[in-house]
Structures are given as C-alpha cells and as structure tokens.
Structure 1
C-alpha cells in the first residue's frame, strides 16, 4: 500500500509550557533544525513527513488556530523574501513554506474531547487511505546513518500492507508516560513485533503482569514512539465512542481492537523521540538536533563550555 497522507495532531493548548504557550501555539516555538536554520516545531515535523514521501498533510488544531497557523507561515515566507532579497537559501526556505501551505489542511477540533477524538477529526481528510500519524509536540531524530524515523515506519507499513506503530524499548520507571505494548517477535525480522496487547500509561505492577515482551532487557518495555501508520479501520473503531458523546475519547482502546481485528505490527525505531511538553523537553530536543546536524561541532563545543562554566 502507498501512504501519501499524514495527520499531525496539534490541538492541545500546552498547559505544561505555560506561560510561553499562552501567547503562541507550542507547535510554533522556534528550534534550530539539523540544517542549521531556525524553524517552527510544526514545520520540522511536516518536513519529516515530506522527506519520507508524504504528499498531503492535515494539522488538527484548536478552534481559531487554523487561521493563526496559516497567517504565521505566510508572514514567515513574506519576511524571508523581503529581508533576504537575492539570497538563494531564503528563497529555498520560502518555497518550502509555500509547499507546506499549498499541501496542508487545517482542521479544528471544536471541543477538547481527547486524543482519539482529535485523530477522528481527520477522518474526511484521510478518506479510505492509510495515513501517517504524528504528534505536534514531538520531534524525531534518527540515528546516524539511518533513514528518517517516518521513512522507516512507512517503508515497513507499505511492504506489509498493514498498520504499524513505532516503539522504543523504555526503562520501567518511564512507562507511565506512554502507551505500552507487548507482542510476539516476528521471526527473522529485527525489532518487529506482532502486537497483542496495549495499555495506556500502565502502572509498573500492571506492566509486569501483562506487558512483558520476550527478548527485551530486564526492566524494559515497548512504548509508543509517538508515530504510527494506520489503515482507515481505526476511524471505524473510534466512531462508536465519538458518536456516543464521550468527553475523553482515547486512541489506545481502539488500537487494542485493531490488534484483534487485523494485522498490526510494531517496529523499533532507529532513533529517538523528544516530548517538547516535558520539562526541559525543548532543550533536550535542541541538543539532539544540534548534534545530529550541520552544527554538530558547535553544539558539542557549547555543551562542553557550558559544563565547564557551571562547574568553575
């Protein structure tokens, strides 16, 4: 199957980033990308999708934010052209923003009814096609020499013709932050699992009883990476709860049904994800992008100098 569409959920208001997220959408916070240029977080995520073969994007956002996103990107494009006239890099970046605006739809989640509802808001955009799902407050950095994280996932989903969720082996004291899965290792395939059970943010005792996965190091569990490829079946599974009027539509129960309904795989990513909503999340993501990109030496020097100054 071919995955041409991506959905980025960016409807949460970013309470954990208050007060900065009170004046600007957290997905528009600036970060220096691997190419050394300052970009809004949402643009970096979109470029991850485009570079992995995605052709159209839907950003699910809070009421009123669709126009704000479009206006902010239009302003960025105009400023690049106005203030850097004759500069090839500025024109290239302006063209990238034009491409983003021309291939992106903004769909507003009218009510804050949970993550599953936010995903469901993209149902009409997706139609009957498989799609890539990304989080608007996560940045993804692949290992040196590896394909982009989204490309790794799309490649497997296309080959196997099924839904695939990205996962990372995660130490036990952190699993309360993530959806956690267990399943059987697919014979002859490194880091690939057939998903059997999923629990959203399990307790350690619950994980010890129900989510142990053979082959992982002791004390580690397979946790969601914040990136998935789904078949449109996921919308059918979400529909009942959405139409029932639930105020907190969760995605994970629908994914448990998906695992019981059709082929559903998990793939260990060759890379790391950075949750920007966590304390120091932006800092950690910025350091990772700096070390992975053109500013590697500069970033390393800055870190060493900062540590020396802090301990002097």
Structure 2
C-alpha cells in the first residue's frame, strides 16, 4: 500500500529577472493574478489536494512569502472597525493552520534540484509533492491532487504532470522518453532536460507539478551539475528509473506559464473572466481594445 503524500515543496528562491523592474523589491511569487498572489494559488491547490505541510525553499528578500500566510493584526483590526467583512473573510480564509508552513533557504542559485534538496530535513523519508508557483493551473480538480490520485493508482514511484508542446519548444522543458502511452498516462524509460528539438525523444514536456518517491531526495545528494551548470531535478528523477516507476500524467485543466510576461497577462484575463462580477466589464474592455489594434 502506498503512503499518503502529506508534504509539498515550493521552490521559490528565484530572482524573477524576467519581470524586472517589478521584481526588484517584490518576490515574483507575490505578483497578483487578479487579486491573489501566485504563491497563494499554489498553496490553496495543495491544501485542496490534502497536503498538510508546505515547505518554502526561499532566498534573500523572500521572507514576505512566509509573512503573507501570517496574521496582519493592524489590517485585520482596521477592516473589523470599518465593517469590511468580505475582504476580512478573504484574508482569514487564506490562512493555514499554525505550524503547517515552514521555510528554509537556498543560499546559492544552483538549480531546481538543489532547491528541492534543501528541503530534505523537512521532507524526511516520505513521498512528497513539488509545486512550482510559476505554473498556474486552472482546473476543476487541483492539478497536484490529480497527480496524487494517479500516483496512488499506479502504486507509487514518480508521477509528473505533462503536456504536449510544439517540437521546436522542447529546449525549454524536461522531456520524457516514452516506453508506452495510453493517452492519459505515459510510462517513461528516460527523461532529458531541455533537449534540442532534433535530439528530443518526444514532445511530452514536464510542467511544474511532481509527486516523488523519497529515493529522488536521496539521489539529489550526489547529483552532479547538468544543463545550465545547475543541479537538475530531472537528472535525479532519471537516475531512479529502474528502481522506481516513472509516469507522466496528462492532467485535466489549463496551464498558464506565469514566468512569462504574456502567460502572466493571459492568466489574469482567464481568471478575471471566471469571476461573474468582472466578466461583463472585462469582456467589453477586451473587445474595445481588439478593435483598436
């Protein structure tokens, strides 16, 4: 019987250079989609999927990410005094149980694999999830929850969220080498980090949701630097093939790359249109601007 996935690692130490100057002083994970920061969407997704503990791997200037999930006594008091119950309920509803969010530092920018490894003391010898807040998924069921269900059904190992990408974009992703594929679940015999299109074994790309066997954490201990001179999570996962199964899961939902400026704007439009209070006016604004172009 597979063990329950109780913990999720959030690698949030990146500098967000693609969004400068906005991210000069503001953590990129605090950039808002409509009225909630990216990190809150990620944590809410984890909580809806039954994750109990969220582990932030941060860097310098990222303390605000932890502070966001704490009480703000002055603001809460002011909202109460002014009878603003709706925004107060929004604030309080986003707070996790005490002791369920912890953080640790990635002191050097050595890659995603290194960031995940920095959480080893908190994860322990348990299966765990990894959630990259830059990848925002709009779905009826939380994306990481879909992966956990598939992971349980297949008996464990490593389960990665995947989607098909254009062949000329494979050098932007980790790509699976497929042994078999039923259209929903792919069994992988290997994976390559950011291969050139002519060398890519498929166009099935890994996006920022993982459910991982604890063997991956132990493997990261001795994983050398790979693509880009960084310690790659994909290299550690690939090294466990043959020891534990590796699957790619095509999730239900729409993924927005919020590490990209256009993807970020697209996410704001899509999530804004989902709000009944905003849909009519936002639709008019979009139509108005489309006629001016």
> TM over 0.5: same fold?
yes
Count of residues paired in the alignment: 286
Instruction: Tell whether the 8 Å contact from 1:77 to 1:97 is kept in structure 2 after alignment.
Output: no
1:152 to 127, 146, 155: 146
Deviation string, structure 1 residues 186-209 (Cα, Å, up to 9, x no partner): 5xx5410111121111111101xx
When the two chains are superposed, the root-mean-square deviation of aligned CA atoms in Å is 2.4
Deviation string, structure 1 residues 135-177 (Cα, Å, up to 9, x no partner): 13221112xxx42212211111122232200000111122221
Residues 132 and 190 (structure 1 numbering): CA distance in 2 closer, same or farther, change over 3 Å?
Answer: same
Alignment map for 1:280-295 (pairs within 5 Å)? 280-294=262-276, 295=278
Q: Which structure 1 segments of 5+ residues have no match?
A: 33-37, 213-220
Give the corresponding residue for 1:268: 250
1:196 to 189, 192, 197: 189
Instruction: Tell whether the 8 Å contact from 1:84 to 1:90 is kept in structure 2 after alignment.
Output: no
Instruction: Tell whether the 8 Å contact from 1:117 to 1:242 is kept in structure 2 after alignment.
Output: no
Residues 114 and 123 (structure 1 numbering): CA distance in 2 closer, same or farther, change over 3 Å?
Answer: same
Instruction: Tell whether the 8 Å contact from 2:79 to 2:85 is kept in structure 1 after alignment.
Output: no
Instruction: Tell whether the 8 Å contact from 1:7 to 1:60 is kept in structure 2 after alignment.
Output: yes
After TM superposition, the score normalised by the length of structure 2 is 0.88
Distance in 2 between the 1:64 and 1:24 partners?
8
Residues 176 and 298 (structure 1 numbering): CA distance in 2 closer, same or farther, change over 3 Å?
Answer: farther
1:226 to 179, 189, 208: 208
Give the corresponding residue for 2:107: 110
Instruction: Tell whether the 8 Å contact from 1:77 to 1:94 is kept in structure 2 after alignment.
Output: no
Distance in 1 between the 2:264 and 2:98 partners?
25
**Consecutive aligned runs of 4 or more in structure 1 exceeding 6 Å deviation:** none
Residues 8 and 77 (structure 1 numbering): CA distance in 2 closer, same or farther, change over 3 Å?
Answer: farther
Q: Structure 1 residue 291: deviation in Å? A: 3.3
Q: Which structure 2 segments of 5+ residues have no match?
A: none
After TM superposition, the score normalised by the length of structure 1 is 0.83
Residues 268 and 296 (structure 1 numbering): CA distance in 2 closer, same or farther, change over 3 Å?
Answer: farther
Instruction: Tell whether the 8 Å contact from 1:10 to 1:59 is kept in structure 2 after alignment.
Output: yes
